[in-house]
Structure formats: structure tokens, C-alpha cells
Amino acid sequence: MKKTNSIIKTAKKTILIESNAIANLANLIDADFEKAVNFILNSKGRVILTGIGKSANIGAKIVATFNSTGTPAIFMHAADAIHGDLGNVQTDDVVICISKSGNTPEIKVLVPLIKNYGNKIVAITGNVDSYLGEHADFTINAYVEQEACPNNLAPTTSTTAQLVLGDALAVCLLELKGFTSKDFAKYHPGGALGKKLYLRVSDLIKNNQIPKVNESDSIAKVIIEISEKRLGVTAVMNKEKLVGIITDGDIRRMLSKTTQISKFTAKDIMGNNPKTIHKNAMAIDALQIMEKNSITQMLVINNKNKYVGVVHLHDLIKEGIF
């Protein structure tokens, strides 16, 4: 069994080999990369990613990145392609073929079939002089000097290089398309990341009750309102106008000073300048205001500055925003 220092040394060596190889890719980017990006950008079809072995696994990940950043893509395994899946390739589709050697049997069979269909091929290969490199319409150089594997066999550095080049393609395309955070949200509606980009305060408060009391109401009524509405807070109103806020903390602080609550009204203990947020504001904005002011609730208003509800930190936690 290797000693701990030997394990750490091997891990660091692996990282350095791969990071140096990735840094060198910047020197290999040439006009073909730019031409490939522009061709994909102007294509009316999709992007088909294909490969064999570990390169196929990388292709599947690049497909996911493309789709999530506004470039429609599908994955087609090179071995399956020559046994029926070639039907996935439609007119105007662009095929990105990934192969370290560029000379695997499946690639040699697949490339001429794709070209016979009239589709353009973008090669991502570590050997630009290979069959794939020479027959592709655009060749992206993914050369690495060595694998991180001590035997220089297991695809490690080479697959990392392929992945990085796929990311470079995706980022170039999204920038050229003007892909924004709002676009990103449309493709990521399910997770917390997407919710941060599209969830609004109005979405959070729609099931909440709307606690409110008049400024002349008794403290007893204030306590009942806060307890019944279960949000730890109530708005204080002067007719239809929002004039203040009372939290359960305000109640506790008052009771720590006196138990003679009958002589007090809501106006006597309310905060006069409650923090408010518009119902159409982003949920993430509500969280930032709460964090900045060390509060757990905010009153919500509409376009006419009318009080319409309460957003609570628990609402943000429930949605995975916090």
C-alpha cells in the first residue's frame, strides 16, 4: 500500500500533467476553430456529437453543455451509428466527431458515410494527421503530450482536453448568440440555480396569508393576528395605507419591559419604516435584502405601493434559494 505522501505526490502530478496540457491547448487554437464555430452558429440544423470509447462519454457531456446554453445537440455513438443510428443525422446537421487517434475502425467507416450525406464534420482529435483529421471539414487540435496514466495508456489527459475544447466551443457560441441569464433560466427551470434566475416574490407569497392590523388596534389583537397568520409578523395599516410593521420580536421586547399591554396600541410598538419589496422582484433579491438587514420577513407591495403580503425566509429555504 502506498504511503500517504506518495498518494499526494501522485495526485499532484496528475493534476499538473493535465493542467499543463490544457494550458497548451490555447496555443493550438487556430482558424479552423473559428471557422467551425461560425459554421455551427449559422447552421440551420443541430449539432451531432459522436465518438467511441471514452471519447463517446465526453461527447455526451458536451451535448449536455450545448443544450443548456442554447445550441441544440444530440449524441450518437459511433458504433451504433453504423448499425442504424445514422438516421439521427438530418439535413443541415453538423457532426462533431471526437477521437484521440482519429484512426479507429468505427471512425473510418462513419466519416465517409456522413460526408456522403452532405453533412459537415468537425473533428476534435489529438492527431491532426489522422484519417479523421484529414477528412474532416474543420479540425480542432486536441493534442496532449502524455496521459496522466503512468503507463501513458488510460485516456485521462486526452479526454480532459476534449472536454475543455467542447466547453470552448459552447462558450463561443453562447456569446455570439447573446445568450443571457434569462435564456439560461429557461433551460434550467428545475433546480435551485434556475429558480434563482426566474422565481419572483409573487411566486413565493401566493399561498401565504396576509396579516394586517390597524394602527389603533390593541396589542392583544396584534398578538392574535401574528399567531393566526403564522408568519411571525403583521403589517400595520392606516385604512389602506401601510404605515408600519410589528414582528413577534417586537412583542417579546415589549413584554420584557411591561405586562400592562392594555394601554398600548399597534402604533405604539410598530416599526415606522418597514422594509418592503415589490411583488415582481426576483426571489434572490429578497434574500439579499434579508441578509443585508438581518431580517427574516419583508412586506410585499404592488405597483400602487399597496401592501399585498409577506415573504418569509422560510419561503426561500423551501424553494432551495437559500
Helix 157-177 to helix 54-68 angle (10° resolution) is: 20
Residue 290: strand, helix, or coil = helix
Say if residue 77 carries a ligand binding annotation: yes
- Least Cα distance to 216 among 266, 250, 264 occurs for 266
User: How many other CB atoms are found less than 10 A from the CB of residue 262?
Assistant: 8
Residue 292: burial class (beta carbons within 10 Å; 0-12, 13-18, 19+)? exposed
Rounded Cα distance, 145 and 68, in Å: 32
Q: What is the CA radius of gyration of the chain?
A: 30
Rounded Cα distance, 167 and 156, in Å: 17
Integer CA distances (angstroms), 105 to 9, 82, 101, in order: 38, 11, 11
Cell of 191: 433546480
Residue 147 near residue 154 (C-beta atoms within 8 A): yes
Cell of 265: 396600541
- Least Cα distance to 41 among 193, 173, 186 occurs for 173
Rounded Cα distance, 308 and 305, in Å: 9
Cell of 12: 499532484
Q: Is the dihedral of CA 83, 87, 88, 91 positive or negative?
A: positive
Residue 49 near residue 163 (C-beta atoms within 8 A): no
Binding-site positions for Zn(2+) read 77
Q: Which residues are annotated as a binding site?
A: 77
